[in-house]
Structure 1
């Protein structure tokens, strides 16, 4: 069970446009507190509690991400939150550093990554950078693992978002998605930050999640770099249609319900069907 606890996202004002630049223009956010991560599975990644390490570094059953047709209980599993201010990312286990990520993120949110697989002393993670789906390896001692219970499945063709609990759909919501010219990108992403716009009746509604993915058509938008988001709307008639620059729009009551349930790091699968 998820339980309430300390906020997992802390955001500074004036960053909503740049953080969710694949969406309509809006005002700056204030601090927002998503649901706490399931601490029943939390631990420093150096421990062997979450799963037995895979010596090859490949996804370990019940730990890494499953795919459609595989055991649904393997998806999702864990997120990794940085415990260092500058997190080195390596090309491979024992390989060279390819980039360094800063904690907190530019928005002020903690640096949270989605875990894909594990090797002794290492974690393979998805990175919130271009191109979409970029991965890397981090040292286990540099992060803290947190168990994840839920995932989101976004069905573009049917304009539906499902909340999935270990293979069982708990709830589904109607959504608006990207247009043909600025489509919502497909793939597996995760919730990297939660923002709270100053005007809950504005174009983003009361809350906006920033995803780890980016628009595949827009390299920049409204002063930002095209991050895709999940947010509310000031136009309920936009829900159920192809209307956005790539973001996913929900009714305000629905995005509010999600913020009470989902922690940062929650996986999001965006599907064409």
Structure 2
């Protein structure tokens, strides 16, 4: 678990072709030829201006997520140009990212970096990553200040929540649960759930990158108000449920 002091710096307050002729050696896939160490990392600290934008930021997915075991090169399109690398861990948690589109052996995934809505295409080699599926979806209606959690399309919980204030609004779009961090310094929430999205008005907070999160709050009067620095504040029983959901679970901020 990440130390609480570092956490405070992160949050805004509160993702076969035929063989060539025998005379020529078989060429490896494009991704295998990429020297990933030369590429910037796709983490919550990164700013990937070359990343393609999410083409459908308000659409749900089929729940497919990708567990990254070994860092992957990220491409701007299938068979396109590499622009970053996706590491196997995020904030000392394993990397799980939602798949939002597939084309043959290529998968388009949501990324944890700025700009909000950044995506990248990956084509994992055997052992680099494995697909799984999360049946869960978290939806936050920012204007109504209401959060709903669904399992296989069935509602399993809903709550009134707190959202970002007028000057520090909660960003909209689809993102995901990037990590789960046990808080050891402050007492406002026992667990923080950073998302793969950032504040649109705060470029940094406490020296960190302005990562938005789901987290608890000790004063229930904040629920139903727009008063946070962009994070979504949730009641205790909502947090209890959220902490049981797998990383990579889709979060729709509407």
Question: TM-score, normalised on structure 2?
Answer: 0.77
Query: How many residues are aligned here?
Result: 210
Larger Rg over CA atoms: 2
Matched residue, 1:270? 253
Q: Using the TM superposition, give the Cα deviation of residue 66 of structure 1 relative to its aligned residue in structure 2, in angstroms.
A: 9.8
Q: Using the TM superposition, give the Cα deviation of residue 15 of structure 1 relative to its aligned residue in structure 2, in angstroms.
A: 2.7
Q: Equivalent of 1:133, from 93, 112, 117? A: 117
Matched residue, 1:82? 68
Q: Using the TM superposition, give the Cα deviation of residue 67 of structure 1 relative to its aligned residue in structure 2, in angstroms.
A: 5.6
Q: RMSD of aligned C-alpha atoms?
A: 1.9
Q: Using the TM superposition, give the Cα deviation of residue 234 of structure 1 relative to its aligned residue in structure 2, in angstroms.
A: 2.0
Equivalent residues of 1:210, 1:230 under 8 A apart: yes
Matched residue, 2:153? 167
Matched residue, 2:46? none
| Structure 2 CA distance for aligned equivalents of residues 166 and 245 of structure 1 | 31
TM-superposition CA deviations, 1:116-140 (whole Å, max 9, x none): 1112222111111111111110113
Alignment of structure 1 residues 85-124 onto 2, 5 Å: 86-105=71-90, 107-124=91-108
Question: TM-score, normalised on structure 1?
Answer: 0.72
Q: Using the TM superposition, give the Cα deviation of residue 158 of structure 1 relative to its aligned residue in structure 2, in angstroms.
A: 1.6
Which 4+ residue blocks in structure 1 deviate beyond 4 angstroms? 65-68
| Structure 2 CA distance for aligned equivalents of residues 110 and 207 of structure 1 | 17
Alignment of structure 1 residues 191-230 onto 2, 5 Å: 191-198=177-184, 202-203=187-188, 205-230=189-214
- Structure 1 residue runs of 5 or longer lacking an equivalent are 1-10, 25-64, 69-73
Q: Using the TM superposition, give the Cα deviation of residue 256 of structure 1 relative to its aligned residue in structure 2, in angstroms.
A: 1.6
- Structure 2 residue runs of 5 or longer lacking an equivalent are 15-55
